[in-house]
Structure 1
Amino acid sequence: MARKRKEESSPGAPLWLVTYGDMVTLVLTFFVLLFSFSSIDVQKFEMMIMSFQGALGFMPGGKAIQQDAAVFGGQPASQAGESRRVTPNIQQVAQNLRNYLRSEGLDKQVVVRIDQRGVTVSLSDQFLFDSGKAELKPEGMRVLFKIAEFIKDSVPAVAVEGHTDSVPLRGGIYRDNWGLSSARAAAVASYLQYRANFDPRKLQAVGYGPNRPLVPNDTPEHMALNRRVDLVFLSQHPKQ
């Protein structure tokens, strides 16, 4: 009996210690929550909150969260660093261009694509220029004029980029493919300004030579794809 009374009188954990342990656990949980908020994607969190509110029936009227129109490298365009954002308006311009090129039978020579930088219009050199030259052909001028009509009032700026294949130049007025690609880009930009009435403040021109191929320069067909002039729709005016 004495032993039983001794066990019953053994002190247990004080009640205040239990309360203190619960409080510490709650504080720890609170700081973990704050840490998770510090690295959360704000846009996705806002969309989650709006969706939750809408499910409960009290979505505020007139308020909406618009998702990015393109995803670059597996992330929204707003998180893509210097990547260009593809707005719905530019997407519509790209679709209109595709429809026009298809109707004119030019969808093989002029390709409209959406990539990590935004919307790019690639024009084959086969109908823009003669081999080794940077003077625009009449058929190339016609297509450039039509493209300018589509984009000059719809995009903030356009980068004109000249590209060649990897075959070294043999003779002619240009020392190498750098010079040829730069001259072709400048010729296209000049035409857009002076003949198609494109705002020159929206234009920039650069030549890349053979250094940014679409495909390896291993066949004549691939080389033809790499010889091109790209019109890249930019999201903002070129820096002055």
Structure 2
Amino acid sequence: MSGGGHGGGKRKKHEEHEEHENHERWLVSYSDMMTLLMVLFLVLFAMSNVDQTKVIQLQEGFNQAFGTNAVLQGSSSVLQSSASDSAGLDLAAGSGPAGQMTESEQALVKKAVSAAELAKAQTRMLAAEAEAQNLTEAEKKIKAALKKSGLEGDASFTIDSRGLVVTVVTSSVVFSGDSAILRSGGQQILDAVGPTLKSLPNDIEVDGHTNQLPVPTRNYPSAWELSTARASAVVRYLISNEGIAANRLRAVGFAGTKPLISPSDVRSVKLNRRVEIIVLSDLPDDTSSLLPAAAKAI
């Protein structure tokens, strides 16, 4: 009995010792947590010591170069680390205290801005030249097809900011007066133009134009409906006979609001009465505006 009691006492003392060790283990986790917090605050403190004035000035330089006020915007939450530091500071808006930069630093910023603007202009010009080259190749193919069909004098070509413009004068060969029914001569022109248009990836716009003569229309309420109907007739033919996808085409009527030559010119009665088939460029506006100059350089 005494042996059993003695053994039971030892086990109780050993169990109390293990329970005492479990109570002290939380100190290790607490110590680790405090260490991590101290490191975190040291990192935040180090990050808050950025020269905010120079960052703002540098951002303004980049904003001018790239046309955006978002440069370094993600840093605003770090730099605005205290109420005193953030007073009058708004990196997202590109504003802040005047600050001081050395002349050499200012020169570097200006040089960076000029270089960035030049690089952007060169990139746009290269893109315009490549597009003008593609449009010129399409023009050559269409001209060759028209010449093969004996129709080389029935269309003229220009490249403007919209793209390649194929102008077909809507004489009696293409449409009768006050009519939007495509005649056989017009069909032959579209048969020559169609295969090249189909092979291109570009969307196509067909614009109808009338001349400025105040002649009342019999079959249409006004020149607006007549010019739109003629453009639509060309689009329908390109879809049904040339196999061009309908979602690549659109028809627009301008009546006599966009004359090709001045109405005072005696030729305007004939030349302003036309249909324009436009191979549309998909370049941004600031780049497509360079297409005429790029085409002349080819």
TM range (shorter): 0.5 to 0.7
Larger Rg: 2
What's the counterpart of residue 225 of structure 2? 179
Whether 2:120 is the aligned partner of 1:68: answer no
What's the counterpart of residue 131 of structure 1? 177
Q: Deviations over 1:118-162 (max 9, x none)?
A: 111111111210011000001211211221111112132100100
Structure 1 runs not aligned, ≥5 long: 1-22, 47-64, 71-84
When residues 24 and 198 of structure 1 are mapped into structure 2, their CA distance, relative to the original with a 3 A threshold, is closer
CA distance in 2, matches of 1:223, 1:118: 26
Q: State the identity as a percent.
A: 26
Q: CA deviation at 1:43?
A: 5.1
Matched residue count = 181
CA distance in 2, matches of 1:118, 1:110: 16
What's the counterpart of residue 104 of structure 2? 26
Conserved 8 A contact 1:132-1:169: no
When residues 219 and 92 of structure 1 are mapped into structure 2, their CA distance, relative to the original with a 3 A threshold, is same
Aligned-partner SS, 1:173: coil
Which structure has greater strand proportion?
Answer: 1
RMSD of aligned residue pairs (Cα, Å): 2.5
Conserved 8 A contact 2:207-2:277: yes
Q: Choose from 179, 186, 191 the match for 1:140.
A: 186
Q: Report the TM-score, using the length of structure 1 for normalisation.
A: 0.67
Q: CA deviation at 1:117?
A: 1.8
Conserved 8 A contact 2:146-2:193: no
Q: Choose from 112, 116, 124 the match for 2:161.
A: 116
Q: Choose from 180, 183, 207 the match for 1:161.
A: 207
Aligned-partner SS, 1:216: coil
Which stretch has the larger CA shift, 203-212 or 113-122? Answer: 113-122
- Letter in structure 2 aligned against 1:214: L
- Letter in structure 2 aligned against 1:173: N
CA distance in 1, matches of 2:158, 2:117: 33
CA distance in 2, matches of 1:152, 1:171: 34
Q: CA deviation at 1:27?
A: 2.8
Q: Choose from 204, 207, 213 the match for 2:253.
A: 207
Structure 2 runs not aligned, ≥5 long: 1-100, 283-298
CA distance in 2, matches of 1:109, 1:210: 21
CA distance in 2, matches of 1:66, 1:130: 43
When residues 231 and 30 of structure 1 are mapped into structure 2, their CA distance, relative to the original with a 3 A threshold, is same
Aligned-partner SS, 1:122: strand
Q: Report the TM-score, using the length of structure 2 for normalisation.
A: 0.55
Conserved 8 A contact 2:169-2:271: yes
CA distance in 1, matches of 2:229, 2:264: 25
- Letter in structure 2 aligned against 1:28: Q
Conserved 8 A contact 2:217-2:223: no
- Letter in structure 2 aligned against 1:29: A
Which structure has greater helix proportion?
Answer: 2
Q: Deviations over 1:170-204 (max 9, x none)?
A: 24111211111001001110111112211101000
- Letter in structure 1 aligned against 2:267: E
Q: Deviations over 1:191-240 (max 9, x none)?
A: 1111221110100000000011110122442221111000000134xxxx
Aligned-partner SS, 2:279: strand
CA distance in 2, matches of 1:34, 1:150: 44
When residues 42 and 191 of structure 1 are mapped into structure 2, their CA distance, relative to the original with a 3 A threshold, is same
Q: CA deviation at 1:111?
A: 1.0
When residues 39 and 156 of structure 1 are mapped into structure 2, their CA distance, relative to the original with a 3 A threshold, is closer
CA distance in 1, matches of 2:208, 2:119: 38
When residues 171 and 151 of structure 1 are mapped into structure 2, their CA distance, relative to the original with a 3 A threshold, is closer
CA distance in 1, matches of 2:113, 2:135: 38
Aligned-partner SS, 2:126: coil
